[in-house]
Structure 1
Amino acid sequence: MRSVILIVVLWCAVAQGQCPVWTPARGEREMTALAQQLNDWDRAYYRQGISMIGDDRYDALAKKYQAWQRCFQPQSDTRQPEWGANGKVLHPVAHVGVKKLADKQSVSRWMAGRTALWVQPKVDGVAVTLHYQRGELVSMISRGDGLRGEDWTKKARLIPAIPQHIPLRDDSLSLQGELFLLMNGHQQAVAGGVNARTTVAGAMRRKGATEVLQNLGIFIWSWPSGPETLTQQLSLLREAGLGRVSDWSKPVDSADDVAGWRERWFRQPLPFVTDGVVIHSMPTAGIYWQSGKNTWSAAWKYSPPTVSAEVRSINFPIGRTGKISVVLNLVPVKLDDKRISRVSFGPLKHWQAMDIVPGDQVTISLAGQGIPRLDEVVWRVADRRHPRIPDTAKFNTLSCLTYTPDCREQLLSRLVWLSSQTVLSMPGISRARWQQLMQAGQLSHLFSWLSLSREQISGVEGMTNVRAEQLYHQFSLSQQQPFKRWVKALGVPVPENALNAMSDDNWQTLLARNSDAWQQLPGIGKKLAGQIIVFLRHPQVQALIVELQHHQREKSMLSMRVIKDRQTQLKAQRQQSGNKTEQ
């Protein structure tokens, strides 16, 4: 009893980080809604041959449901798809499935200690069993749940690629393979999956014959209890009219070999669609095969162009000009060797139109330069709990020039902007450093950092002496930046080309400009000129300009003192030199 309790406790501890933080009642509602949708898709797919959702999206949601079962109904049987209405047929030998390997290192570990290995393309189609008795095809069965599947023998008679008679006269001979759509020079790297599996499944499940059946091939990837060596198997399969597999079975000795074939088949023209490679060793006898129990083969799939992910939470960052954007925080997923845990969604209105809430399932792809991009919502949770969003009326180009709790996000964005290379160029001062100063109460407005002493900076909790000196040094150097850089740092909405053409070098002449004067600069029309004037006349902006002028005067006075001190030193040195000469 104690052992059982310990196991339950440990399981809960592991599952806690993966299970939604829902009440049992909500868990029941969400599971009921998703199960109903999965059942609808199953009926359309298995009974009518209609695919209403992409394979990868369906697979992701089916796994999501099974995860919820482990969280909220751990005693229930794992959900299985609803099969066709024509019943199930027992496979002569169970389909065992194949283990998925994540990367080259995993492949290397799996291959260690195994010999006589070969690799094949993982043909993307529909798995079947061909059953022959004394050389005659007696049945073709869909994979189903691995133990039982649908009887597709009538359709097999209509597929030219499937031999109805073979020269192998065993009393009972089972072959497992993939029904696939014949392609003409298909390049996986260019064209992707093109829904080939869906096309095959649809043709097999529709009533009557379709033209697609004439364009199907069969790829035999397993001969349970067949000859002891791969060479013998391939030779006999070729004699039986099933020799396509012999053209695509390559011996391998290392993970580098596997990676080489995987990359080659990903890019070269092929007669079928693939979704990776499978590494094989010689299996045990077919009488010992059990569904889900496969130790002799493993798959290394290609990275999908998209991946399904669950929305964990939603943030609403506020930019320096007051624009509110949306960031979706995701349950981390891997896409093209990248770990994706968040995706920028864009403007607030876009998010409101798509109505995404935590718990929803979305698909993510990679845009240019590997930037994650949201493609679509594939499932919406039943309980629509919308997060609280910032008040859009509070934020604009003139808001948050001073610190308040509500202004924390926008003021931080302004500070990150002004420290960037194209503005005041303060390398080493990141968003984290500004946050550190803000949390210590050292930043009351946009330029309050100009007044910070070495002692104030070094007194910030967690600030090392080296880092404090770096910040103080960069703050001091920033005052040597030209006037136009400070105009940008303040956030005056002057276009870059107009700023470059502007001759002003002090705040007095800038503030003296009227609408006509502003419109003389490139890229500034009447509307923008009015916006610039409104910005510069705002009381908080005026106060910040006074602050900047004060620091400029202090800098000038300091420079004058330095120059005067230097002149005094030089004069004293000349006098001392003259006295030595007289002596």
Structure 2
Amino acid sequence: MTDAQTAAERIARLRSEIDEHNYRYYVLDAPSVPDAEYDRLFYELKALEAEHPELVTPESPTQRVGGAALAAFGQVRHELPMLSLGNAFAEEDLLDFDRRVREGLGLDGGIVDYSCEPKLDGLAVSLLYENGQLVCGATRGDGSTGEDITANVRTVRNIPLRLHGEGWPVLLEVRGEIYMPRAGFEALNARAVENGGKTFANPRNAAAGSLRQLDPKIAASRPLEFCAYGIGRSAGELPDSHIGILQALKDWGLPISRELKAVRGIEACRAYYGEIGARRDALPYEIDGVVFKVDSVARQQELGFRAREPRWAIAYKFPAQEELTELLGVEFQVGRTGAITPVARLRPVQVAGVTVSNATLHNLDEVARLGVMVGDTVIVRRAGDVIPQIVQVVPERRPADARPIEVPPQCPVCGSAVERTQLVRRGKGKAAVSEGAIYRCVGRLACQAQLKQAIVHFVSRRAMDIDGLGERIVEQLVDTGLVKSPADLYILTFEQLVVLDGFAEVSSNNLLAAIAASRRPALARFVYALGIPDVGEETAKRLARALGSLSRIEKALPEVLTWLPDVGLEVAHEIHSFFRDAHNRTVIEHLLARGVELQEEGELQAEFAACASLDELLDKLGISGIAATGAKKLAEAAGSLEAVIALSQDWLSLSVTKGLSEKARQALRAFFADAAGVERARAIEAQLREFGMHWESERRSAVGLPLAGQTWVLTGTLESMGREQGKEKLESLGAKVAGSVSAKTACVVAGPGAGSKLARAGELGVKVLDEEAFLVLLRQLEG
């Protein structure tokens, strides 16, 4: 067999495989391989065709874009083909692109002006406007013919149905990307899980699947957004630069990228790529690279096109975040709350520039959802610092000896029983119990894995902040039996430490000094350090600031806790259960007895003084049929809790009480006929009085915190303090620190390296302070 025959066979196989992947990706929205695998196949085909140009045919995937339109939709022919872009995967590719551009323009030593913008990971679409009215929306399809998705496009909220302003061409074809933001994607999948539906693998599939729904109501319910990146046909005068055209589109009401930037020369393009790459995971949408285009329209026309791509544009892709590999086995790890987590052991593979050999499987429900088995070929994803995870199985590659994944009956660390958690959903007058997705070891702190993780959390920077107590040292302290609870850290001695592996006189004294320095934690840090389930740093701060003392937090009943903002009943029960546990109380007692002195304790926060009302108390009791309105009517009729209890048993008086249905009256009577119901209601009222939250308690004026009620945003680097310290200072002055800029933002503090948040503040006219002005303001406000 000749080399040409061998190449022809390989080319035929590659074309067949790529066509199948195109069909699954563009038509079915169900890709079976990650982008990196597709790119490898495509570039192998491209290289073979370059070596054997006689074998190139018009039907080759290298000569066209995407796949065929779905028959369920009407077809739209693109009078100007919607081409894809050439890709760069390394700096050399980008430099070659710039060299070709300069050579094509006869600029051997010249500099080219480029436009730069992120490459959104969505679905390319064309929007046709006639006399300013949207008349057609179409997918790219195979580049020549797309699917008519006008009805679905009209439901995307940021696509104008009529162009704004004036001066637009009588005929204008706008091209861009419809995508799903990360937050919307997560919410969509969460709803699907709650309703027992199928989840999407990634935002791109979710966007594509939404636009290919035959019922526009489904598309309308999805959180889709559009971003314009260029034009096709037009009948009218337009600016002479790509940036100018996009700015004109923006003036006419079409959204463009907030990251759009004009630069001079390829070195500035490289810098833009690095800057966007560093912020990639913080962007509110998925991107897979950066698009660079020659900015001058005249120069674009001079450079022209190849068969499937323009010569004046390139997509510089980020390292692949998804790759194919094999699941070799599954191990089970034990966390600080006893949760048993399956961890996938993978055949090592490079993902996003890092060798990945382990990935999280979250829990057994996720294993079932994926349908994954040991031996499977899987797609593993890694984005930034996120733990790698398996996102999809390639079922057609499953071996005959694949094995199911089963949870161990005993804890792999301590041998204690492993039990499935139960979910308790509390509603009006009842609690529904169902099986949870988490399995737990019941050994608690007798299990060394849980003890180690609990102590690692306890000493972490945002908790007790004991410098020098890393995981390796914690493991050694637990393994030698020196530490059996967090409280034991405070009775360690020099003699115990200095004989341990890796310790000497200086390191032993340094660790003891760090432990001593942690004895005076703020109340919020201490509460967070305790590791209460579902209580993160923000909830711990809320508990500490509102209730003001550990004693109140320990005693607080679940219903009382729900008067605090953002504390729901489920979290309230977790907090209450934690402090009722005898072991947890003993650990806290030992911590306080061994010299831990809580700081920033005081009275109940003034805004919660007399914050409760009788109708709210009645509503929180969860009496069937009595919601907020009925509780208000009942409170108005009775005037006190004791009067409500008495009224509930006085059937004649109750029957004429307005605002209550017969069913509600019966439920009220039954609730207070039970001694437990009366005791619970009286206990809640008694605690409200004790805390000063009762409606008859003395109201107090809040000491006016200067930034109370304001929302601030920190962006960039704060050189004189960490962002976390800046956040703490703002919160101590009453401000809420948010992660994104909106019209309600009071001020943005922008340090060096500030990017999209600073730009967004400029768009909205939000006040901006640099670090120096911020420090001056802090000194003024802190007196």
Which TM bucket (shorter chain)? 0.3 to 0.5
TM-score in terms of structure 2 length: 0.35
- Larger Rg, first or second structure (1 or 2): 1
